[in-house]
Structure 1
Amino acid sequence: MLSSRVRRPVTHVLSPLASPRLPTRQPPHAPWRRFASSNQAPSKSSESRSHWFRHSLGLAVAGTAVFIGYTYVTNDWKGTGVDGAPSAKKGSTPIDYPSLQFVQEKRSLKSPGVYTWGSNVYRVVDPGSKDTNVKTPRRFSYFDGQVLRDFKIDDKAGAAITENGDLVQWGKGYSETDFTPTKTLTGKSLVSLSLSEDRIVALSSNGTVYSLPISQNDQQSGPKPRESSWVPFWDGQSRLSYRVLQPALKLGESVTAISTGQEHALLLTSSGRVFSAAASTEHYPLLGQLGVPGLTWSTRPSGPVDSCHEVATPKGAKIAQIAAGDYHSLVLSKDGRLFAFGDNSFGQLGVEFDPNLPYKDTPVELSLRRLYKGGTYLPTVTSVAAGGANTFFTVDAKRVPGPGGDAANVRDLGRVTADTWACGRGIWGTLGNGRWVHLQDQPTKVKALSDLTEYDEKTKRIAPIHLRDISVGTTHVSAVMDNKTHLKAATTDSLSGSQDWGFDVLWWGGNEHFQLGTGKRTNLSKPTYIGAPDDTGKKSETESRLQIMPRHKGQVGRKTVSMEQRVSCGRHVSAIYSGV
């Protein structure tokens, strides 16, 4: 059955984070009972024979118990565990594997791939199925045995970057007739991608940013650029229509990260600068999401519609992370300051909503002082994520004496609390705070993901549990926790040990197309675990919650590859894939 995280004392935090709930042991059988065959008293001879039988039986039972006990203690029992797994070797601690957890872990090691679920109206989640919705994680057969550089899906189209950097597309948004995944943009050594309403923005390993239409028809009928070749005098025309986004870079500067909304794209450079550009064929960004004051369709500078514009962040603020929602943008500086701009109709910028001006076209800094009142904590934003009309950010809050306080009297001085905050639209429960609201312009704490701790075997101390990653779809969210995956202090890149587990992953928000993977259509306003995918064809007697496998070495074909599992949430769809 599904379990949910609740606040526990520190001494009880490690167990549920380190491993799934183990099945309880059954009580021993009741001892044998003797029943008299009649009410008459037994004769002496029969009583003597009965005493002899009882003594012999007692000696036999005692001898068997001693033998079994000795064998169990020395771990010499030759048998198999759940699903045919060998039992613990001599010198190790025997563990009862929940079968699905064991299968999930071994499958990740021996057969990497992709799992998808949610809306399948446009044949994105399962191209070979006519199901309109896929209720629980389902294996995507095309990617069996593959590790990917990136994977993004929307309700109408899907795109992935293969291990060698080629772009693969599928879904009705790409082709109305052929739903089979097809390689499109190849030979560019792509490393990451992002989807807008009708275009794909992809980043190559050398920092080049490509923008191409999602539609196959537009790729074939649109203007095709000329491409150079490594062979002298052998230039030619591309077989696909695409554009290259060209920000005004300095000498030695390159683009290192990209993020897109429905109509715009953000580009982060190695110098900590941010550029924005239009990323839609049909619509021009008019809600301030480009971060350029007064920029509209009529006031845009001469040149291509998708020209890059530098976002004027406060002087001295070097940007470390970027994130784009549907119509708003977020940038996080290296010193932990968060700036937002664009649409604020649902409070997604984290500032007060003004009905007379529902958007901001210049970056505004989100104040953390109002989130940690009293001056007893020093907060720093550590990560940011966006999707739909929602914003999520994590904060490390360090305990300090406070104004006029005496450090000697602060018991938990220096303690770091890892918190997760959210703002924006919450009508589907997307805020994760247990409430259903239309507009949340004051950041609210996601308590289920905040102030969590566990015992670190390496440092021998209680440590905060941070968020490892968070993926935000249009109406739903998934968060991967950065809990310890090894019970031993020594680190390892293998998952073959019996005490190796995965990262906890939780889901919440809208579930109108079963995108939460619970198998039900109920929306969830609090982070919740879901079950591990069971595609073994056998009904398991035990259930195991889904976990994300950490980076490890696994077999891909004839070679060993370092890989990890990642989560991707889109518009009414979700996915887990094996990434390099």
Structure 2
Amino acid sequence: MSLRLLARSQQLLPRRNWFFPVRQYAKEPQYDEADLFAENINHGAYKAKKRSSQDQFQWPEKSAEQVSKEAERQWERMAKLSAVGQGILIILVVGGLGSAYLRWPELKSWWLIKMNGGRVNTVQEQNGQDSLEKLARQKAKNLLREIPQVPTFQHGIDYPGVYIWGKCHSKDSLFPIRVPNLDNRKFRDILLAPSDDFNCNFALDEKGDLISWDDLGQTKTLLAGQHLTSMKYSSDYLYALTRKGEILVVPIRTPNLIASKLSSRRSKLLPWKTKQRYDWKLETKQVFDTKKGENRVVQFDTGSHHLVLLSNLGKAYSCATGNDQKQPQLSRGQFGIPTLSQFDEFPPNNELFEIELLNKYKNEGENTIQKRQIDKIACGSYHTLALDHNGELYAFGWNRFGQLALPISYNLEYVSFPRSVTHAFKPHFPGLTNWKCVDIHCDDETSFVNIRRPGVIPDHYYFAFGNGLFGELGNNTFKNSQCEPIKIKLNNKKVINWSCGSHAVFGETDHEREVIVWGNNDHGQLGIGKKTMKCAKPMNIPDVLKPGQDTTDLKSIYDSKFRLTNQQRIVTNGDKSCIYWRV
């Protein structure tokens, strides 16, 4: 702005008298700013148009319909504001009442202290202690109702038989209960089949016959004379390994189909005796290399819809499980074969395929293909772990929760071929090379690995990774996914036997053969004597109740520790668990 324009502005706009708040120039003519600055804006004269004070602005007239619509809109806005206000008021009232209910003991104590002039009355304090003691007595009474009274005439834990607990009766059992009609019986293997019929269990007796039994001990022979040694459950079918190294496919839900697969033949040495032959087996001749002596199965494991086995030469094979009909589902990479990925057609049931990328390998820079010997495999619901002779760990299948020890990402959600994951344990042993994997186990979506370091104390380390929402990781945390191996808090205990069910883990230690458990416990399946929803760290279970034991002494019951004998085994399926005597 030029000096000339500023001078003119000072002449036209006299100073204001700050001592008198009344406007002194109300009757003098007013100037428009456009009139003052017109010469500087467009170099032309500008004269503002002023409206006379007599002119009144006329609002346009509205019809009756427009007036009614405006009134309706106004009422709608008011109704919305009223509803919002009422909602906020209801939330505040409900939240306040809920907070008061949850903190009622504190509020009551505060009010009593305030009414007493800030002093705690000894009578009121005694009343509070009495209330706590009353709650403790009520809790003790509830625990006493859950503890069964064992009759004096019943056999004890030192006598062969079967104990069962968890989801096994009309009411969940928190303590092991001896199964009637199974006293003085030993078994090669017991399977608590996960199914809607929670009263269904299976066992292999002393002769290797397959029998079914319920919680009352009523048994029924399903398959006899096959000399079975172990069994697994998958897709409503039971897969059993025979003494000859064959895997039988047993449709346990259709006994008529089992009978149709049986045939009898006379013995050549003893013609007066007949032998039962079961014809439904996994065909291994088409994939085994019989010329090199590969002729039997030494170990196998199953998932929800797949099976992986090892031959006597340490080679791995996999197949889909279930009936002969095509299953309407997609692969999640659990077969370990790239051509059977989630983008391919689901493979035929009970047809074996060799996992070539696991059985063979080629070093970088070499053209010779070498063979890899697999010592052990373990299956989860949709993933598989494999351990070779050199202690290298391989994994394939579903990785949504990190159960393959691989990063959780879209590209690694389904891994359809074996990948080495031994490097995932290196951060726990920085700069060390004298360690290797020696044992593996799998839950539904969780994996467990045993690492050994010879020559140090302790020489065994246990790691878990995958789904830990129910405490399966055993490190006192509840995580939905854990892709990096994390140590299980076992306090330097060595686990010699494992049993993994659906979100529940049992272990037997070498120190006096104590039983430790962790994981889901919504049915009391962990056997800790309490019905807690989850148990996130390994803990001991109380000793089995003895005949005629005083169940009112709660301290002696819960302070005791259960220890297995050499012939006893403990198994679980995640909903219920049992102890049996092994042949």
Equivalences for 1:202-221 in 2 at 5 Å? Answer: 202-217=240-255, 219=257
The match for 1:114 among 157, 162, 180 is 162
Identify the residue that residue 212 of structure 2 maps to in structure 1.
169
Separation in structure 1 between the aligned mates of residue 418 and residue 467 of structure 2, nearest angstrom: 20
Separation in structure 1 between the aligned mates of residue 560 and residue 249 of structure 2, nearest angstrom: 38
Shift of residue 249, structure 1, vs aligned partner? 2.2
Verify the 8 A CA contact 2:263 2:277 in the aligned structure 1. Answer: no
The one-letter amino acid of 2:182's match is: F
Aligned-residue identity in percent: 27
SS in 2 for 1:219: helix
The one-letter amino acid of 1:330's match is: L
Q: Deviations over 1:177-236 (max 9, x none)?
A: x99331101100000011113010000111111011121456358x52655542599999
Shift of residue 256, structure 1, vs aligned partner? 0.9
In structure 2, the CA distance between the partners of 1:374 and 1:180, relative to structure 1 (3 Å rule), is: same
Identify the residue that residue 276 of structure 1 maps to in structure 2.
318
Verify the 8 A CA contact 2:226 2:276 in the aligned structure 1. Answer: no
In structure 2, the CA distance between the partners of 1:567 and 1:389, relative to structure 1 (3 Å rule), is: same
Equivalences for 1:34-183 in 2 at 5 Å? Answer: 107-109=156-158, 111-120=159-168, 129=169, 131-156=170-195, 157-170=200-213, 180-183=218-221
Separation in structure 2 between the aligned mates of residue 171 and residue 550 of structure 1, nearest angstrom: 25
Identify the residue that residue 353 of structure 2 maps to in structure 1.
309
Q: Deviations over 1:448-502 (max 9, x none)?
A: 25xx2xxxxxxxxxxxx5220121111111111122xxxxxxxxxxxxxxxxxx4
Separation in structure 2 between the aligned mates of residue 573 and residue 257 of structure 1, nearest angstrom: 25
Shift of residue 297, structure 1, vs aligned partner? 9.4
SS in 1 for 2:244: coil
Identify the residue that residue 51 of structure 2 maps to in structure 1.
none
Structure 2: gaps of 5 or more residues: 1-148, 362-370
Equivalences for 1:471-550 in 2 at 5 Å? Answer: 471-483=499-511, 502-522=512-532, 523-539=534-550, 542-543=556-557, 545-550=560-565
The match for 2:578 among 563, 575, 580 is 575
The reply to whether residue 332 of structure 1 matches residue 387 of structure 2 is yes
The one-letter amino acid of 1:513's match is: H
SS in 2 for 1:438: coil
Verify the 8 A CA contact 2:569 2:580 in the aligned structure 1. Answer: yes
In structure 2, the CA distance between the partners of 1:359 and 1:548, relative to structure 1 (3 Å rule), is: farther
Verify the 8 A CA contact 2:331 2:342 in the aligned structure 1. Answer: yes
Identify the residue that residue 464 of structure 2 maps to in structure 1.
422
Separation in structure 1 between the aligned mates of residue 277 and residue 205 of structure 2, nearest angstrom: 19
SS in 1 for 2:224: coil
Q: Deviations over 1:491-536 (max 9, x none)?
A: xxxxxxxxxxx40110111111111112322111000111111141
Q: Deviations over 1:416-442 (max 9, x none)?
A: 531100011111111101101100111
Separation in structure 2 between the aligned mates of residue 180 and residue 196 of structure 1, nearest angstrom: 24
TM-score by length of 2: 0.63
Verify the 8 A CA contact 1:377 1:398 in the aligned structure 2. Answer: no
Identify the residue that residue 443 of structure 1 maps to in structure 2.
485
Higher helix share: 2
**Greater RCO (CA < 8 Å, at least 6 residues apart):** 1
The one-letter amino acid of 1:147's match is: K
Verify the 8 A CA contact 1:568 1:576 in the aligned structure 2. Answer: yes
Shift of residue 241, structure 1, vs aligned partner? 8.2
Verify the 8 A CA contact 2:500 2:572 in the aligned structure 1. Answer: yes
The one-letter amino acid of 1:448's match is: L
Identify the residue that residue 144 of structure 2 maps to in structure 1.
none
Q: Which one has the largest radius of gyration?
A: 2
The reply to whether residue 187 of structure 1 matches residue 190 of structure 2 is no
Identify the residue that residue 82 of structure 1 maps to in structure 2.
none
In structure 2, the CA distance between the partners of 1:218 and 1:370, relative to structure 1 (3 Å rule), is: farther
The one-letter amino acid of 1:527's match is: P
TM-score by length of 1: 0.63
Separation in structure 2 between the aligned mates of residue 416 and residue 518 of structure 1, nearest angstrom: 27
The match for 1:466 among 490, 494, 503 is 494
Higher strand share: 1
Shift of residue 242, structure 1, vs aligned partner? 4.0
Structure 1: gaps of 5 or more residues: 1-99, 121-128, 173-177, 400-413, 453-464, 484-501, 552-563
Identify the residue that residue 68 of structure 1 maps to in structure 2.
none
Identify the residue that residue 111 of structure 2 maps to in structure 1.
none
Verify the 8 A CA contact 1:227 1:235 in the aligned structure 2. Answer: no
Shift of residue 390, structure 1, vs aligned partner? 0.8
In structure 2, the CA distance between the partners of 1:199 and 1:466, relative to structure 1 (3 Å rule), is: same
Separation in structure 2 between the aligned mates of residue 244 and residue 367 of structure 1, nearest angstrom: 32
The match for 1:393 among 426, 435, 449 is 449
SS in 1 for 2:459: strand
The one-letter amino acid of 2:517's match is: W
The one-letter amino acid of 1:340's match is: A
Separation in structure 2 between the aligned mates of residue 276 and residue 576 of structure 1, nearest angstrom: 31
In structure 2, the CA distance between the partners of 1:227 and 1:277, relative to structure 1 (3 Å rule), is: farther
SS in 2 for 1:203: strand
The one-letter amino acid of 1:336's match is: G
